[in-house]
Amino acid sequence: MSGRLRVAGICALAWLMLMSAGAPGAGAEPGPLAFAPCPSDHLFIRAADVQCGTLVVPFDRGAPSDGSIGLAVQRVPASGPRQGAIVLIAGGPGQPAIPAFEEFLAPLARDPRLRGFELVAFDQRGTGQSQGLQCVETGESHFKRLIAECGEGLGLTRPFYSSQETVEDLDALRQALGTPLSLFAVSYGGHVAGMYAHEHPQDVARMVLDSPSPLAGTDALEAARIHALRRVLDEGVCGAGACRSFSSDVYADLTGLVAKLHRRPLHARIYDYTGHLRPAVITEADVLSLLFGLDLPDAGRELAPAAIAAALHGNGAPLARLAGELQPRRSRRSSFASSAAGPRDRAGLPSRTPEDESVPAGAPIRDAFDSMALYAATFCAEGRLPWSPDSPLASRAGALHGWLAALPAGYTAPFTLATAVKQSPLSICEEWPATPPAPPFPSGVSPTPTLILSGQDDLRTPYEQDLEIQAGYSDVRLLRIPDTGHSTVSTDTTGCAKDAMLQFLSAGGEPASCPGSGEPQALPLPPASLDAPHAFAAHSSLGERVAAAAAMTLEDLFAQGGFAGGGLRGGSYETDFRGGYLLHRMVDVRGVALSGKVRIAGTRFAPELSGRLRVSGRLDGVLTLHGRLLSGRLGGAPEHARLTVLP
């Protein structure tokens, strides 16, 4: 193993010795599962009712005497007569479930519909507190090579991090709980749940698949995401004429922009997180990476269409800001489901940061992050790749070349095949060490009562893919969630997806449809100045325009994806890691600079905004933010404006 890298600090041989020492002579049956109050250093979020336990299972079920692994389990006991257990299966592969359980599912125990259900989650083997695997770099190493070295460090243990192993671990959990399971599975978790329901139909009462990955594995080129772009832009983000003020056809704008970027990158100048003007470059790969993230909250969905239209006409600054040029990035705050779609753009956990005051001192923050080692170990053995997982590394470049040459012309249009490959997991798996192929996925139709939740704006697991998944179940409902991207239950601001999940798991019912959020999914760019024609209400006073410009600046701020960045036309902002932002003379509209603090509390379903901002420029004054309303005195006169969208 390279001296620049360790995998959880353990090489393959020492890993097996450690497991054997932890549970000598472990047999094929799961060990007993006892729960007790969680130690404070095992909790990410304080919750009095959450209990912790460890489920001991064989690491290699073909040789159970070789050693075992302890799976971290959490639960909230039923508060009424026991009706069953609801188990959360998180996304990835590689995402721990326990942080999401504490943040989202455990608090739902107070819902009357769930009084009779034990709520449970476990970290999949190799993630979080279940012997989480982390690739640790101690020197310079290209990312692709770093992951390959991580695989080399896993050695002979690589095959034991498959989806099938997780299915068997889930069945061991069912045996230990002593009851059939109801499954709430998100993203890649839907793949695991689908496998379990096909293999153990008698042990699943019902299940909700939120934004599920396909049972047959994921296309390594992620072409389904590219093919869904036109629909998501036309019907979702730009639906109901949301883009009409700046574009007649955003997808056509995207196609034109990408064609230009084929020939040469677009150069721009943007303000960085220190407030200084710096050069930036936009490439075709930057645009595809940005688009692949639009189905997550805080990923610039509202601003991307107008930024694409502006870039087509030579103004690349808005797009460069969204693409993350010169901006430190922060974890997405709202989606707990990452996808088997690739490492660059998966929703991150935790939604809180180590500095967040709500995280208790000593909480295992590292255990909240996705494991890239586990991701690669699973996906590179199960993804629909151009080569067999056990093929020699030297043969894979040729296999990839031949596979790409056989694809239909325009398969990844408007993007080139080279760009699609660069943004896909193919480059990671090309150097992943040869590993025995994973067991074949189950086929046929499962009778398990199933509800599929599909976000209208989801690009990771798009609606077209959900239609194919639906065919694998005989008793299935497919519910589309408008104005929502990936991981609908945790991101649908109307709460309809969450309510549908609760209804179905508790009693087998669900709403016939869900309403839209009522908020625009796309916004025009802030105007260059207070005197821009058609940017403000006709005959509005200077004070009214300044207040409106301040509201536009805040909306732009909320749509950015970095934890720090520059204003569109000057100044900067940063997060304070306590649910708010600090603004330093941030300028989006010339003549209006904002300084001060904005606080975001509450939940995604009911955000609570507050703040006090100093305004300087054409008019000086102070504006106070309460919810959507921004009000105060500018130039000595009272003024107010309303925000169109909430964070």
Average pLDDT (51-72) is: 94
Give the range of the structural domain holding residue 122, as residue numbers without chain letter.
1-231+332-517
pLDDT in tens, 540-549: 999 999 999 9
Task: State how far the Cα of 377 lies from the Cα of 152, in Å rounded to an integer.
Answer: 11
Is residue 418 domain-shared with residue 469, that is, in the same domain? yes
pLDDT in tens, 382-430: 999 999 999 999 999 999 999 999 999 999 999 999 999 999 999 889 9
Token match 């090579």: residue?
145
Q: Specify if 303 maps to a domain.
A: no
Last residue of a domain, one of 517, 533, 552: 517
Q: Are residues 478 and 560 in the same domain?
A: no
| Identity of the highest mean pLDDT range in 133-147, 394-408, 426-440, 506-520 | 394-408
Q: Quickly state the pLDDT bin for 325 (edges 50, 70, 90).
A: low
Same domain, 54 and 203: yes
The amino acid at 581: Y
Based on the fold, state whether residues 581 and 499 are members of the same structural domain.
no
Q: Cα dist. 201→96, 197, 450 in Å?
A: 25, 5, 11
Are 503 and 570 part of one and the same domain? no
Angle made by CA atoms 335, 339, 344, in degrees to the nearest 5: 90
How does residue 351 score in pLDDT terms, banded at 50, 70 and 90? very low
Percent of the chain, pLDDT > 70?
A: 87
203 and 338: one domain? yes
Q: Which two structure tokens, joined as six digits, stand for 439?
A: 């067991």
pLDDT digits (tens, 9 = 90+) for 470-488: 999 999 999 999 999 999 9
Q: Indicate whether 223 belongs to any domain.
A: yes
Quick check: is 267 in a domain? no
3-state secondary structure at position 570: strand
> What tens digit of pLDDT does each residue of 550-567 get?
999 999 998 886 789 999
Other CB atoms within a 10 A radius of the CB of residue 219 amount to 16
Sheet hosting strand 117-122, strand order edge to edge: 36-37, 51-58, 68-76, 117-122, 84-89, 181-186, 204-210, 450-455, 476-481
What is the rounded CA–CA span in Å between residue 634 and residue 258? 43
Residue 147 lies in a domain: yes
Roughly what angle, to the nearest 10 degrees, separates helices 284-292 and 250-263? Answer: 140
With bands split at pLDDT 50, 70 and 90, how would you rate the model's confidence at 576?
A: confident
Task: Give SS3 for 402.
Answer: helix
What distances in angstroms separate CA 642 from CA 385, 543, 554, one per listed residue? 50, 14, 11
pLDDT in tens, 498-511: 999 999 999 999 99
The CATH number linked to 418 is 3.40.50.1820
Give the number of domains in the chain: 2
Specify the pLDDT at position 137.
63
What mean pLDDT do residues 366-378 have? 87
Q: Is the pLDDT assigned to residue 361 strictly greater than 50?
A: no
pLDDT tens-digit series, residues 52-61? 999 999 999 9
Would you tell me how many other CB atoms lie within 10 Å of the CB of residue 86? 29
Query: Domain check: are 505 and 383 in the same one?
Result: yes
For position 141, what pLDDT does the model report?
59
**pLDDT mean across residues, the chain:** 87
pLDDT at 578: 73
Q: Are residues 554 and 512 in the same domain?
A: no
**pLDDT of 28 higher than 80:** no
What's the pTM? 0.89
Do 512 and 412 sit in the same domain of this protein? yes
Query: 332 pLDDT exceeds 70?
Result: no
Residue 18 neighbours by CB under 8 Å, 6+ apart: 10
Q: How far apart are CA 319 and CA 304, in angstroms?
A: 7
By residue count, the chain amounts to 647
- The answer to whether position 285 is within a domain reads no
Per the domain annotation, does 479 fall within a domain?
yes
pLDDT at 347: 30
Measured distance CA(289)–CA(459) in Å, rounded: 12
Q: Is there a single domain that holds both residue 502 and residue 570? A: no
First to last CA, the chain: 45
**pLDDT for 356 beyond 50:** no
Residue 274 confidence (pLDDT) above 70? yes
Q: Which of 145-159, 213-227, 325-339, 627-641 has the highest mean pLDDT?
A: 627-641
- Are 157 and 8 found together in one domain? yes
Residue-wise burial string across 117-135, b where 16 or more C-beta atoms lie within 10 A, e elsewhere = bbbbbbbbbbbbbbbbbbb
Residue 241 lies in a domain: no
Does residue 583 share a domain with residue 448? no
Q: Among 473, 502, 517, where does a domain finish?
A: 517
What phi and psi, each to the nearest 5 degrees, are found at residue 513? -160, 170
Q: What is the mean pLDDT of residues 88-94?
A: 95
Ramachandran angles phi, psi of 640, nearest 5°: -155, 160
d(CA 625, CA 489): 28
Residue 348 pLDDT: 27
For residue 564, being part of any structural domain is answered with yes
- Which tokens sit at 226? 């590219």
